[in-house]
């Protein structure tokens, strides 16, 4: 029996072609407007003077910024931006889409913003060193700018206090233009403190037994002593009760602020240093913050968790916080975990 041959239905072929076209179109659009990854970490991408579009596209693929050099080059042609790409240093991340990357590459390096990340707990000196390394700023220029008059921020302490903005230069990730002055950056950090701390937490701050300056100062100590939110709330309560009892805070972090030793456990000689920041020698809070605390540590001081502990230490090996109710128990824990 001979089977009759039937040619494929023209309508089915047309549907197949349309479906393939739609899939291709979706892929192209996705490649253009969606990023390759969720990574926001920026890396330096240098375009040499006279470098071809083919070379740029290939290196973008090789470095994991885009998936397809063809899509990159096609979008450049369609958007008529191929001739606008600028030679020089550009900061790119896998979290950028093809469109984002092209918009970055067509902006002159001198006009491009740069991402900076200020770590929670850093002092003004740490920030100055970081900006010197990442943006080429002069350390002394930034420190001088941090001590200018910012009286528009009514919540700042008196300018007569040394490093009076320390504690209020909010640690976060920022985008900064290369031509930004040190004062521009300080203003940006202070404004972020205002929008992320002072305004949203104003009612809690007003209801606290501590002033804002005392809150920020204590938060900076809590920040340096422990890292977990749960521990911060417990340690904040311990410190607040010590303040009420006029019992020394005995914070190694405040002693380290003076000695710059970096020791996790202060020596006897360290604890005898005559400094208002030595909370072994003097009860109460030091004159000001020892760093710029995180929102988490500030909230811990505003919302401490009541507990029956009065002493604590942090282990050297895994950073666990060991609590004690009595001084005798604390000495036993020191012998067990530190000595």
Q: How far apart are CA 158 and CA 171, in angstroms?
A: 21
- CA 124, CA 257: separation in Å to the nearest integer? 12
Average pLDDT over residues 296-301: 98
How, if at all, do strands 43-47 and 88-92 pair? Answer: antiparallel
pLDDT at 9: 61
pLDDT value for 82: 76
Longest dimension (CA), the chain: 110
**Burial category of 60 from C-beta neighbours within 10 Å (exposed 0-12, middle 13-18, buried 19 and up):** buried
Residue 298 has pLDDT above 90, yes or no: yes
Mean pLDDT for 298-322 is 95
pLDDT of residue 40: 59
| Segment among 15-24, 305-314, 322-331 with least mean pLDDT | 15-24
Domain final residue, candidates 81, 111, 141: 111
Q: Which domain holds residue 87?
A: 19-111
pLDDT at 120: 98
Q: What is the reported pLDDT for 115?
A: 85
Residues 168 and 84 placed together within one structural domain of the fold:
no
Average pLDDT for 244-273? 92
Query: Do 264 and 227 reside in the same domain of the chain?
Result: yes
Residue 112 binned pLDDT confidence (cut-offs 50, 70, 90): low
DSSP state at residue 325: S
pLDDT one-digit tens code per residue, 29-75:
545 554 555 555 677 788 888 889 999 989 999 988 888 888 888 88
pLDDT, tens only, 136-176: 899 999 999 999 999 999 999 988 888 999 999 999 999 88
Assess if residue 32 is contained within a domain: yes
pLDDT in tens, 213-227: 999 999 999 999 999
**CATH number of the domain where residue 93 is located:** 3.30.1490.480
Q: Across all residues in the chain, what is the average pLDDT?
A: 87
CA atoms within 13 A on the CB side of 182: 20
Examine residue 222 and state whether it is found in any structural domain, yes or no.
yes
State pTM to two decimals.
0.72
- Which of 166, 198, 230 is the last residue in one of the domains? 198
Among 35-39, 176-180, 266-270, the minimum mean pLDDT is found in: 35-39
Tell me the average pLDDT across 320-330.
96
Confidence grade of residue 19 (pLDDT, cut at 50, 70, 90): low
The answer to whether residues 90 and 135 belong to one domain is no
Question: With bands split at pLDDT 50, 70 and 90, how would you rate the model's confidence at 26?
Answer: very low
Please state which of the ranges 38-47, 227-236, 303-312 shows the lowest mean pLDDT.
38-47
Q: Which residue has the higher pLDDT, 130 or 88?
A: 130
- Whether the per-residue pLDDT at 85 is higher than 60: the answer is yes
Q: Which of the listed residues 198, 230, 248 is the one where a domain comes to its end?
A: 198
**121 and 169 both lie in a single domain:** yes
Q: What angle do CA 309, 310, 312 make, to 5 degrees?
A: 85
More confident residue, 75 or 295: 295
Quote the pLDDT of residue 316: 84
Residue 284, both tokens: 């109460």
Residues 80 and 53 in one domain: yes
pLDDT of residue 6: 54
Same domain flag for 165 and 194: yes
Distance CA 63, CA 56 (A): 11
- The answer, yes or no, to whether residue 25 has pLDDT greater than 90, is no
Split into its structural domains, the chain has a count of 3
State residue 32's pLDDT score: 54
Between CA 163 and CA 132, with CA 197 as vertex, the angle to 5 degrees is 45
């Amino acid at each position: 029996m001979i089977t009759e041959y039937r040619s494929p239905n023209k309508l089915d072929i047309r549907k197949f072609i349309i479906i393939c076209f739609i899939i291709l179109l979706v892929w192209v659009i996705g490649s253009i407007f969606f990023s390759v990854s969720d990574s926001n970490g920026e890396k330096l991408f240098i375009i040499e003077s006279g470098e071809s579009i083919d070379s740029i596209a290939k290196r973008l693929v090789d470095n994991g910024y885009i998936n397809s050099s063809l899509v990159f080059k096609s979008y450049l042609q369609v958007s008529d931006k191929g001739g606008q790409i600028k030679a020089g240093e550009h900061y790119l991340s896998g979290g950028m889409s093809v469109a984002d990357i092209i918009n970055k590459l067509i902006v002159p390096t001198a006009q491009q913003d740069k991402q900076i990340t200020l770590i929670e707990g850093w002092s003004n000196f740490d920030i100055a060193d970081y900006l010197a390394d990442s943006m080429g700023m002069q350390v002394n220029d930034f420190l001088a700018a941090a001590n200018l008059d910012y009286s528009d921020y009514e919540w700042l302490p008196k300018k007569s206090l040394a490093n009076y903005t320390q504690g209020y230069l909010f640690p976060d990730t920022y985008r900064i233009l290369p031509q930004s002055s040190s004062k521009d950056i300080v203003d940006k950090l202070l404004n972020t403190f205002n929008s992320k701390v002072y305004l949203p937490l104003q009612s809690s701050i007003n209801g606290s037994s501590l002033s804002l300056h005392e809150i920020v100062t204590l938060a900076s100590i809590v920040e340096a002593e422990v890292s977990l939110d749960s521990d911060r709330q417990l340690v904040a309560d311990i410190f607040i009760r010590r303040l009420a009892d006029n019992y020394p805070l005995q914070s190694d972090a405040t002693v380290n602020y003076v000695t710059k030793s970096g020791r996790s456990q202060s020596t006897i000689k360290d604890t005898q240093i005559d400094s208002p920041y030595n909370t072994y020698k003097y009860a109460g809070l030091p004159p000001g913050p020892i760093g710029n605390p995180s929102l988490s540590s500030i909230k811990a001081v505003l919302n401490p968790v009541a507990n029956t502990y009065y002493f604590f230490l942090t282990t050297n090996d895994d950073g666990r916080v060991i609590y004690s109710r009595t001084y005798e128990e604390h000495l036993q824990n020191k012998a067990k975990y530190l000595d």
